[in-house]
Amino acid sequence: MIKVGIIGGTGYVGAELIRLLMSHKKVEIAAISSVSFKGQNLSEIYPSFYKLTNLICSEEDDVIDKSDVIFAALPHGLSEHIAKKILSKGKICIDMGADFRLSDESIYKKWYGKNFDIPELHGKEVYGLPELNKEKIKKSKLVANPGCYATSIELALLPLLSMNLIEPTGIIADSKSGTTGAGRNLSQSSHFTDCNESLSAYKIASHRHTPEIEEVLSSISSEKVKLIFTPHLLPINRGILSTIYVTPKDKIDLEELHKEYSTYYDNKPFVKILPLGEASKINNIKLSNYCHISLHYDEENNKLILISCLDNMVKGAAGQGIQNMNIVLGFDEAEGLDFVPPAF
């Protein structure tokens, strides 16, 4: 059995990693760490684990020593030094944060307010979007797990940009996410009375997933990609719905485009292209590692509308991290993740 550790095991992403990994048949959780809850049993923090695991929160060095694969489930700015320690021991690091998502240090500094701490590590990472980089991920020991919003938008646009079918600028992505996307630490916007029975935009024209999306999509396009991205907070626990508006370079045959999308994702088990006439919905992917994409065409205005839905805690975070782990270790990428979403 492969031994897996989680640094930052008591945040929402860390807890979701534990939940999913406990059902994985080829790995076992060796250790978890937490600064805030060191020495405590996981079930004291999340009672849903009561009598299901005896994991005790320890220190990060203990996690690294006991594990073959380590997930760093931490806020940005904290993973570089941890990744260096992991790689120095010949082990595998999957960073769930943002420290390795951007290749350009100047762009990272612009959006995250700091330089790379260990520049020599950058360039060794692989961006962990399996539907784009599976072959590179297989050979990597440092995987940068994508952002949740970024995953929903990139998966929707990859086929169009790879086939050069749309204008690469003027793309509008309107995304809505459940409150778990803000993390476990409470903020004013995630207070029940502020978000319940409400819908609000935030970080308008300034969300940090914007440069990530643009860099990834530009890498597969013949031209630089620019988009307008506006996230919104939904009063639900989990899920992302992204509605994306693009301008085709020529008139679109929607049925033919649907076939192209279906072919593009044919061997990619977690992306499902819905039948024409259906629209992607959050409740159909909740608690799963699936992304549902639906295609719609406004012929009068020559606008293609894509609706992409995924669970921000699974395909948008922990599930995709495990998918990357499976690929690195040579397992079936669906191992431990091929469960059916709840019907309601």
Q: What is the mean pLDDT of each run of 10 residues along the chain (344 residues)?
A: 97 97 97 95 96 96 98 95 97 98 96 96 97 98 98 98 96 95 62 77 95 98 96 95 97 96 97 98 98 97 97 98 98 96 90
Residue 319 pLDDT? 98
- Cβ neighbours of residue 195 closer than 8 Å, sequence gap 6 or more: 179, 189, 233, 235
φ, ψ at 219 (rounded to 5°): -70, -20
| Residue 240 · residue 148 · CB < 8 Å | yes
- Domain extent listing, the chain: 2-124, 149-312
- Cβ neighbours of residue 13 closer than 8 Å, sequence gap 6 or more: 73, 96, 313, 317, 318, 321
Residue 192 pLDDT? 73
Nearest to 313, CA basis, from 19, 5, 2: 19
Say if domain 2-124 classifies as CATH 3.40.50.720. yes
| Residue 153 · residue 211 · CB < 8 Å | no
Say if domain 149-312 classifies as CATH 3.30.360.10. yes
How, if at all, do strands 2-7 and 271-273 pair?
A: unpaired
Residue 180 pLDDT? 84
| Residue 285 · residue 310 · CB < 8 Å | yes
Owner of token pair 């492969």: 2
| Residue 267 · residue 331 · CB < 8 Å | no
Residue 190 pLDDT? 64
Residue 185 pLDDT? 61
Catalytic residue among 57, 93, 148, 291: 148
Tell me which H or E stretch contains 217. Answer: helix 209-220
Q: State the Rg of the chain over Cα.
A: 20
Tokens of 194: 């502020």
pTM of this prediction? Answer: 0.95
Number of CB atoms found within 10 A of residue 175's CB: 25
152-211: pLDDT as tens digits: 999 999 999 999 999 999 999 999 999 887 665 656 666 676 767 788 999 999 999 999
Does the annotation count 93 as an active-site position? no
Rounded Cα distance, 202 and 232, in Å: 6
